[in-house]
Structure 1
């Protein structure tokens, strides 16, 4: 008798000033593509227990803090104005680096790439971000990284980076395709009534 595959834990990091669709887009994709929770267990994680204020003062109560977050299989680091602050928060960049050692996949949305750069995860990789933040990424990216413009996402194997906002939805669907097959990704996009830019 075959062993039942345990659901992968998908942790989405949230912080003050996070772009709303950067984290809610991937959240929606992974719950929609989870086969009713059998394949993905999706949750938010923040540095502290306090509510997080996303752009537009949307208040979020994260499910976990970085101190009690379950083992993470997929870590998603969104962007937004607050990413410019979090990229200098060593508590966060150290946590992301530590989690990335055990995670199967790490991916950023938009200016989440700045945080990954400061966590020293981008050496020798192809990287991207929101088209309006390319110069900021150039300033913090290692010289060994290659910045790719005009793409929705880039896959380096373990590290995936996506462009701005809605590109995080495309990258999330791509991750589902990578892990569970194209049919599952297409079904998730169909349920969401989303035109997927593959």
Structure 2
């Protein structure tokens, strides 16, 4: 009898002043595309186990800390105003760098690209971010990094980057398609009644 494949762990990083849709959008995509939880185990992670206050005052209790979470197969790094502080948080950037070798896919949303840049993961890649943060990203990436400021999302293999806010949902659906096929992604978009904008 064929052994069932274990659900992939999808860890979504949250932090103070994270943009809500940057993390809730991908959360919804992977839940909707999870085949009733059989294919994805989706959870939030933070540096500490105390409630995190997102942009606009939304309070979230992280499921795990970065020290206690199950090993991620997919890591979502959202953006928002708080990313400017978190990109300087060596605890976070060091953790991302250390786990990156064993992760199947890392997806940044919006200014989550700034955090990946500070984790030294964007050398030689094609990248994108929120249009309003392109210059900030340009200031911190290596000269070998190519910024595609009009791209909705960009696939470098392991590392996928998306533009602002709702683009993270489009990129998440793209990841779903990449892993489980077009029908799964379309079905998830239909469940959410979401108009998927492909890159």
Query: Residue 167 of structure 1 aligns with which residue?
Result: 167
The Cα shift of 1:145 comes to: 0.5
Query: Residue 25 of structure 1 aligns with which residue?
Result: 25
Query: Residue 86 of structure 1 aligns with which residue?
Result: 86
The Cα shift of 1:159 comes to: 0.2
Structure 2 gap ranges (5+): none
The Cα shift of 1:190 comes to: 0.5
The Cα shift of 1:71 comes to: 0.6
**SS class of match (1:24):** helix
Query: Residue 102 of structure 2 aligns with which residue?
Result: 102
Normalised to the residue count of structure 2, the TM-score between the two structures is 0.99
The Cα shift of 1:151 comes to: 1.3
The Cα shift of 1:101 comes to: 1.3
Query: Residue 188 of structure 2 aligns with which residue?
Result: 188
Structure 1 gap ranges (5+): none
CA offsets 1:101-123 (integer angstroms, 9 cap, x no match): 11000010000000000000001
Query: Residue 120 of structure 2 aligns with which residue?
Result: 120
Query: Residue 66 of structure 1 aligns with which residue?
Result: 66
Q: Which runs of 4+ in 1 moved over 6 A?
A: none
Aligned pairs (5 A) from 1:1-40: 1-40=1-40
**SS class of match (1:6):** coil
The Cα shift of 1:3 comes to: 1.9
Aligned residue pair count: 198
**SS class of match (1:44):** strand
Distance 1:117 1:51 in 2: 26
**SS class of match (2:195):** coil
